[in-house]
Structure 1
């Protein structure tokens, strides 16, 4: 008795007498399916083909070779490790893996060596190399788990060092004033900015937060998007007065989120980031970005005298080293003021927050601190 095929699957016999299976819907491309019909490997590839994520067979002649990199990738796309990654991560990594498939797809996965990985990343920028290595390491970790390879070919691959640029520049207080002057309370542009500035969240979170997340004036038990697949911390952040006024003064049309598109849909992170770029440009702030707001929030906390652990409770950081960047910068500014005060023969209270220390310095010396004195 013949096995009944899943819908849209065709069976062919090649010149060697081996059965080949392909998914094809209407006039769409043919996608090769590995293994036998209804097997786990077969159905994983079938589900990908149904959603348009499968790899089309070129000119109807392509067959996935057992034990190849391509066969492993098909299984990987249907695995729990692939699906557990955030959609934004999968969207970033899939094109990288498809490029890797083009170069090494027909080769045996067990034959992959460090020099192959080194070769494919060699001409890329430091940033691109970093993305490629994160992607391939995850894939190879899965392959080791599935006993497809014995050692990880990504080990000891040499990478270019990224230039130390400091990343996205933080907003200044003057930038915030200029932006608020441009966008009044009641506009989406203003609400978007206030959400990120006063909660310290990324644009990927600002798009998701809504009234259901606010309980008794606190953003309650919210897990930032970036850490959801890696056990990130939940945060509980009291709503700042500036944000509370903005929410109250804005007509909210979304049931689940504060921010929605003109069609009433939740923003994607990419689209909201693009809108923020447009709003900043229109406000005459071309150097400002969404992530720079989060940096200003953390800078404010550090300059108010918060400890790294207090900042981490708001930011959701798991890495203490990342947060100490802000506290160390704030401490340098305070130390510069205290040093100049000693030179002027003035005693200041080092326990004061930075803004109060600046006021005390100005009052004691009868001057406003210069840029050098303030450590700016």
Structure 2
């Protein structure tokens, strides 16, 4: 749903930044092309979020996997001419940056349109953390990727269901 229509590529890019990099909506809204592109115009393998844009007020490095880098390149290709480096990655119909609140509301509307109850701007981030945990990634690594200072914060994001618990005890 979100990836359809006139703003589909932009909408898809915002969701992919959430699902594949675990970014918060406020972090996504503040991204400029200079954050994502290196000096040669290629999508970086990692970006640095300054303390000013992170929730905890601590700078962190975000790694962009190959799939996300391709998604960003595809999105950039839909923009016609290459955007200026200081231009926001996601722009509104009025050609300005999104506020975190507006992007948050927009993301919620995509989940509602898709019939997914309870979806929010945090759903991609929650999926990112849960998926890493279920893939056996070190809790400390997940904590750092999420930008959390305490493991207990990261643990609250991890969803578990009965099937997972059943499989866990079968390992014994």
Question: What is the rounded CA distance, in whole Å, between the counterparts of 2:14 and 2:74 in structure 1?
Answer: 13
Instruction: Give 1:221 deviation, angstroms.
Output: 2.0
1:245-288: CA deviations, max 9, x gaps?
Answer: 32222234753321001111111111111111222222222321
2:17 and 2:156 map into 1 onto residues whose CA distance is 23
SS in 1 for 2:95: coil
Aligned length: 156
1:246 lines up with 2:76 in the alignment: no
2:54 is the alignment partner of 1:225: yes
Q: Is the 8 A contact 1:213 1:219 kept in 2?
A: no
Q: Is this contact kept in 2: 1:307–1:327, CA < 8 A?
A: no
Aligned twin of 1:310: 141
What secondary structure does 1:290 align onto? Answer: coil
Unaligned runs of 5+ in 2: none
Aligned: 1:337 with 2:163: no
> Could you tell me how far apart the structure 2 residues matched to 1:270 and 1:328 are?
25
Is residue 272 from structure 1 mapped to residue 103 from structure 2 by the alignment? yes
Contact 1:308 1:320 survives alignment (8 Å):
yes
Q: Give the structure with higher Rg (CA).
A: 1
Q: Say if 2:37 is the partner of 1:210.
A: no
Rounded to whole Å, the distance in 1 between the matches of 2:70 and 2:143 is 25
TM-score (norm 1): 0.37
Q: Distance in 1 between matches of 2:156 and 2:103?
A: 28
- 1:323 matched to which residue of 2? 154
Aligned equivalent of 2:131, options 296, 300, 307 = 300
Shift, 1:291, TM fit: 0.8
Structure 1 residue ranges without an equivalent (≥5)? 1-178, 343-376
- Aligned residues: CA RMSD: 2.8
Q: Distance in 2 between matches of 1:338 and 1:287?
A: 27
Instruction: Describe the shift of the 1:298–1:262 C-alpha distance in structure 2 as closer, same or farther (beyond 3 A).
Output: same
Pairing of 1:57-136 with structure 2 (within 5 A): none
Q: Which has the higher contact order (CA 8 A, sep 6+)?
A: 2
Q: Distance in 1 between matches of 2:127 and 2:91?
A: 25
